């Protein structure tokens, strides 16, 4: 029994689906390993073609698992959840507004001082 766990991009369009497929491959790898162990423990001796077939499928699945996990880890590292966050620009704008309010208050004080000076003269 050989099931194909191909990496078809159309059927694996989300990270979750790709990881679920990896999980299925891992289960199949464990089944293959168990089958080979059973075959090696067979009192009449292992069937060479069956062991070779299982080992080939095992190695191919391991390679597929490695590739998929490597890609998923790479894409997770590239993901930046705060990329569209406007916190920093918003805070910068608020600080600039406070600075402008302070400058306006200082200018108002200077204006009152100048008006007071002109009134005294």
- Can you give the pLDDT of all 121 residues of the chain as single tens digits? 555 455 445 445 788 898 999 999 999 999 999 999 999 999 999 999 999 999 999 999 999 999 999 888 888 776 666 666 777 788 888 899 998 999 999 999 998 889 888 888 7
3-state secondary structure of 121: coil
CB 57 within 8 A of CB 24: no
**Domain 1-84 = CATH 1.20.1260:** no
- d(C-alpha 2, C-alpha 11), whole Å: 19
- d(C-alpha 105, C-alpha 30), whole Å: 74
Q: What contacts 51, CB < 8 A, 6 or more positions away? A: 36, 39, 40
Rounded to two decimals, what is the model's pTM?
Answer: 0.54
């Amino acid at each position: 029994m050989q099931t194909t766990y191909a990496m078809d991009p159309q059927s694996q369009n989300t990270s979750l689906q790709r990881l679920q497929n990896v999980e299925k491959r891992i289960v199949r790898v464990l089944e293959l390993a168990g089958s080979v162990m059973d075959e090696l423990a067979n009192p009449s001796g292992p069937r060479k073609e069956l062991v070779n077939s299982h080992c080939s499928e095992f190695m191919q699945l391991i390679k597929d698992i490695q590739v998929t996990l490597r890609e998923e880890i790479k894409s997770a590292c590239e993901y930046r959840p705060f990329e569209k966050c406007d916190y920093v620009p918003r805070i910068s704008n608020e600080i600039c507004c406070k600075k402008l309010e302070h400058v306006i208050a200082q200018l108002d004080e200077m204006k009152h001082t100048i008006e007071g000076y002109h009134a005294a003269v």
